Chains A and B, each alone.
Chain A
Amino acid sequence: GQNIDQPTEMTATEGAIVQINCTYQTSGFNGLFWYQQHAGEAPTFLSYNVLDGLEEKGRFSSFLSRSKGYSYLLLKELQMKDSASYLCAVMDSNYQLIWGAGTKLIIKP
């Protein structure tokens, strides 16, 4: 079966760095996506990886290793507004997004 695993919850301190991991097992691979979802709001697209390596976008970076079925989202200089759930999703061979359950990130002052 298809499976996306990510931690349920993480806590970090304002100004620090946090890494949210995602491992996946899917039938085929057409890219990995990270979304941010604030409580009570819609998910919003953050990043896309299809080749191995690191993609940097401001304070956020996303890494992919296809051979290991592994990705992480790195958030630097954490701000209180970064408190949200972070969703990992993989596009399978049928071009469908397979979603993880999300990681709730709590930022403390």
Chain B
Amino acid sequence: ETGVTQTPRHLVMGMTNKKSLKCEQHLGHNAMYWYKQSAKKPLELMFVYNFKEQTENNSVPSRFSPECPNSSHLFLHLHTLQPEDSALYLCASSPQDRQGAGEQYFGPGTRLTVT
């Protein structure tokens, strides 16, 4: 049990659909992250939130829209995705960003397939 949960675990959506991924951490951390993991590629950092404020947006297309209502919850809203967006989407948290961001706790991920 890592203390970070993600729902759904699997998602299949068409290119015209709108869906949301949810992440919740029970560790009392202040920083939360969204990553994209594709086969045989490095983890790609998408967004960073620290104390509910977005501190990083790594040139992610606008069809991905994050939301962080509080330090425990993080959402990733998806709309008009492309087949190349199919991947494992991982949420992570850490006690703080910057110096404390190296030891991250990951959720199990959402396996997304865009058809």
- A residues sitting closer than 8 Å to B (CB atoms) are 4, 8, 30-31, 33, 41-45, 48, 87, 89, 91, 95-102
Contacts and interface: CB of A to CB of B under 8 A. Distances in A.
Contact of B43 (A30, A45, A99): A99
A30 B2 contact: no
Given A87-B43, A101-B40, A48 B2 contact: no
B99 A97 contact: no
Nearest to A30: B99
Interface residues on B, range: 20 to 34
13 contacts: A8-B40, A42-B2, A42-B107, A43-B104, A43-B106, A44-B2, A87-B43, A96-B56, A97-B43, A97-B45, A97-B104, A101-B42, A102-B42
A95 B2 contact: no
A95 B97 contact: yes
A42 B106 contact: yes
B23 to A, nearest CB: 11
B32 to A, nearest CB: 14
Contacts of B43: 43, 87, 89, 97, 99
Contacts of B99: 30, 95
B51 interface: no
Nearest to A6: B42
Contacts of A89: 43, 102
Contacts of A8: 40
Nearest to A87: B43
Interface in B91-115: 97-99, 101-109
B108 to A, nearest CB: 5
Interface core residue of B2, B42, B105, B108 (most chain A CB under 10 Å): B42
Contacts of A44: 2, 106
B102 A99 contact: no
A100 B44 CA distance: 10
Interface in B35-51: 40-43, 45, 48
Interface in B1-43: 2, 4, 40-43
